[in-house]
C-alpha cells in the first residue's frame, strides 16, 4: 500500500504554508495577483515583498526561500489566481 507523502495535496508543508499565506492574507493576495504574467512570478514576488515590506517568511516561520518549496507549483498557483 502506497503512503501519501504530500501535505494537504501539496508537495510538502513548506509549499502548502507559503501558498496558504499568499492566497489567504488579503493584502498579500492582492499583491500576488499583479504577478500573474511575470515569467517567474514567485521569484519576483518574494524579492519585491522582501525589499518593500521586509516579509521574508510566513507568520508560521517558513522562509520564502526554503529550498524544499515546489516553486513550479507556486508559480502555477499565482498564474491561476
Tell me if 75 sits within 8 A of 40, measured CB to CB. yes
Indicate the pTM of the whole model: 0.90
Q: Give pLDDT tens digits for 30-58.
A: 999 999 999 999 999 999 999 999 999 99
pLDDT of residue 4: 58
Residue found under cell 501519501: 4
Let me know: does 12 contact 6? Beta carbons within 8 Å.
yes
pLDDT in tens, 53-75: 999 999 999 999 999 999 999 99
> Buried b / exposed e across 45-64, counting CB within 10 Å, b at 16+?
bbeebeeeeebeebeeebeb
Q: Give the H/E segment covering residue 25.
A: none
Per-residue pLDDT at 1 exceeds 60: no
Amino acid at each position: 500500500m502506497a503512503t501519501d507523502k504530500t501535505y494537504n495535496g501539496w508537495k510538502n508543508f513548506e509549499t502548502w504554508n507559503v501558498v496558504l499565506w499568499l492566497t489567504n492574507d488579503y493584502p498579500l493576495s492582492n499583491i500576488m495577483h499583479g504577478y500573474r504574467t511575470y515569467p517567474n512570478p514567485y521569484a519576483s514576488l518574494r524579492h519585491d515583498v522582501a525589499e518593500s515590506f521586509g516579509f521574508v517568511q510566513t507568520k508560521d516561520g517558513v522562509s520564502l526561500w526554503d529550498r524544499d518549496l515546489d516553486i513550479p507549483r507556486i508559480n502555477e498557483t499565482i498564474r491561476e489566481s
